[in-house]
Amino acid sequence: MSDQGSYYQRDRGWHPPAYTPDYKTSVLRAPRYPLLSLDNTISETTGPVFGHSMLGPLDNDLIRNYAKDGDAIGQRIVVYGRVLDENARPVPGALLEVWQANAGGRYRHKKETYLAAIDPNFGGCGRAITDSEGRYSFRTIKPGAYPWPNGVNDWRPAHIHFSVFGHAFAQRLITQMYFEGDPMIWQCPIVRTIPDKAAIEQLVAALDREAALPMDALAYKFDIVLRGRRSTLFENRPEGN
């Protein structure tokens, strides 16, 4: 068994159940058989890692990193925070990858069908690596809400997808960040699969007026806690705390 299991009590009531019929695609995705636990092998925990030199100077600037003819359109924001472990110690050298819709709520993806316009200057993805204090930041535009085929009129709240890589490719956690004060958060069928209100609130970035860049960008603060009592809820780690 993995040693994580011996240190942290699993709390399956904290993570959304796999089968949540109000989120329609969960019906076919939900496993029909009991889950099996597989231990990591040496190659998964030690083998290939990303190189820190791979990041380009604009990788954490989504306003410019795909721009052809001026900045991306939308409300300019900075998203920043820290990656922390269960004892609130910073996690340096973690690779964060983010992806999001544009200001109109449209993804730049060939299978995207939403009628909102593509912004030719916005790609919608970026990367950052945490520094020695576990800090990261990136600049972007605030994504729009978008409708999705679930119920007759369901919308995703504005959100940014996050992937966090540790020191091996098998150490990957995925979550979504929402924006403080957005009433759409509490109406979203995906968010509503999370049974614990505190777990939802940990996914909501706080508007930080102190960190705003005057005459430029508002700032949102989003700390990511990898495990423990204050752990961020991750989509791909169903064991909870």
Catalytic residue among 106, 139, 156, 227: 156
Burial-class residue 236 by CB neighbours within 10 Å (0-12, 13-18, 19+): exposed
Q: Residue 229 catalytic? A: no
Sign of CA dihedral 55, 71, 205, 196: negative
* Residue in 179, 82, 174, 93 with CA at minimum distance from that of residue 137: 82
Structure token pair of residue 135: 């800090």
Catalytic residue among 23, 146, 178, 220: 146
Query: 135-141 and 76-84: which strand pairing?
Result: antiparallel
Query: 135-141 and 204-207: which strand pairing?
Result: unpaired
Q: Residue 146 catalytic? A: yes
Q: Which conformational region is residue 223 in: left (phi greater than 0), alpha (psi within -120 to 50 degrees), or beta?
A: beta
Query: Is the Cβ–Cβ distance between 168 and 152 less than 8 Å?
Result: no
Structure token pair of residue 172: 């990957």
Q: Residue 178 catalytic? A: no
Q: Residue 161 catalytic? A: yes
By three-state DSSP, how is residue 139 classified? strand
For residue 183, the 8-state DSSP code is G
* Residue in 51, 14, 161 with CA at minimum distance from that of residue 101: 161
Catalytic residue among 76, 108, 161, 172: 161
- Stretch (H or E) spanning 6: helix 3-7
Catalytic residue among 15, 127, 159, 227: 159
Q: Residue 167 catalytic? A: no
Catalytic residues: 107, 146, 156, 159, 161
